[in-house]
Homo-oligomer: A and B are copies of this chain.
């Protein structure tokens, strides 16, 4: 029997709207960028947690955590959640859906005054997307890791060093598993007509920064055969990336490109761009990177340009916990849904949490999927996601998880968490 969760799905959607209204950019939900909006968003979400029956705390890294106690006090916790804010240029569905869905599941349990064998915690993580602190998952601070190397500061963001370091170690109780519900942010589920997918991995990412130095010139005065046009060389390189990454399981993108001098009647002398390559399999990504580097060098040589390649990032793929993913699939099946497995190409908080405990993902179909404000999740799909998540939570048992060889020690003794790139 399928219970109707339409009302609570509509409430989740309304709450996304409320958070989006705090944005400093129309259409987005970058409320964490400014302290005032950030505080307001956390006050709202904390209030919703309390209304749902949770005890709310926050940690020095800025994460907000609500706890719904289990059948016995102090029980190990199943953690649901996501970050609160969205990336630059992303929309309201980019971040907070997981946290709000977690709150909604607690509401459903509390309504029936039902306690589970485990505690349920819901986290609204701070700044996974690096909107505020110009660093990747600052949520990783909860894991006691070193902050990642600072990267280019997005406009309006606070440089990393100004982040107050946690005064005390975070105070998570024992964690059994983490499940992150997120909009897919890609067109795969939409194209296949599937409302929900089970995440298998967060793709690893590599980013190269390319600088081409050719020879600027007057667009009218330099014969074609005497040119060293940096943009024409870059154009070949863009197509090389596209071609090489069209292999199964890879994606490759040039998303930022700038020329100098930038004038309609000047041959570009300099061109700078970034290459982003991702795959759920690190080895095939690294092979592609090697081929791309070789191709770049060949193009630059043939066109007599200088070419600098700077590896700015190489983050390994993080696999979701297989047992946990299986149980997420079981929950979908029990709710009469097909089980589509897919890797997330977008970075997720799960990347950080996976070093603490088994991590899994539920990905929700996204329409108009694009890294921009226009993408959306329907209220029907939100309802379906809540149904699956609630089923999973109700069926979750701590003992199923305990035998897994996970680094609990890493969680208890934070200093022992293995270092991992950005």
Contact = CB atoms under 8 A, between A and B. Distances in A.
A262 B218 CA distance: 27
B371 A266 contact: yes
Contact of A89 (B184, B203, B261, B369): B261
**What is the count of identical protomers in the complex?**
2
A71 interface: no
Interface of A: 88-89, 184-188, 191, 203, 205, 207, 215-226, 229, 231-232, 234-236, 238-239, 242, 245-246, 250-257, 259, 261-269, 274, 276, 278, 344-347, 369-372
Contact of A238 (B231, B274, B369): B231
A137 to B, nearest CB: 14
Contact of A255 (B184, B253, B266, B369): B266
A262 B255 CA distance: 6
A46 B320 CA distance: 78
The 7 closest A-B pairs by CB, nearest first: A220-B345, A186-B221, A219-B253, A235-B235, A264-B274, A235-B238, A218-B371
21 contacts: A184-B221, A185-B218, A187-B226, A188-B221, A188-B223, A203-B220, A218-B345, A219-B255, A219-B278, A220-B278, A221-B345, A223-B251, A224-B246, A229-B253, A231-B255, A231-B257, A234-B235, A239-B239, A256-B263, A257-B259, A267-B371
Contacts of A223: 186-188, 251
B232 A239 contact: yes
Contacts of A238: 231-232, 235
A114 to B, nearest CB: 36
Given A219-B251, A224-B242, 8 more contacts: A89-B266, A185-B221, A217-B369, A219-B371, A220-B347, A224-B251, A231-B254, A235-B238
A88 B264 CA distance: 12
A261 B255 CA distance: 8
A267 B52 CA distance: 39
Contacts of A246: 224-225
Nearest to A225: B246
Contact of A259 (B222, B226, B235, B256): B256
Nearest to A222: B186
Contacts of A217: 186-187, 369-371
Nearest to A347: B220
Nearest to A277: B219
A283 B265 CA distance: 21
Contacts of A372: 216, 261, 266, 269
Contacts of A185: 218, 221
A370 B224 CA distance: 13
A210 B191 CA distance: 30
A371 B205 contact: no
Contacts of A371: 216-219, 221, 261, 263, 265-267
A223 B252 CA distance: 9
A262 B222 CA distance: 30
A399 B232 CA distance: 51
Contacts of A251: 219-220, 222-224
Given A219-B253, A224-B251, A265 B276 contact: yes
Nearest to A343: B220
Contacts of A226: 187-188, 191
Contacts of A215: 370
A192 B95 CA distance: 62
A217 B190 CA distance: 14
A243 to B, nearest CB: 9
Contact of A222 (B88, B229, B347, B369): B369
A257 B257 contact: yes
Given A231-B238, A236-B235, A239-B235, A245 B224 contact: yes
Contact of A262 (B256, B262, B276): B256
Contacts of A274: 264
Centre residue among A89, A264, A267 by max chain B CB count within 10 A: A264
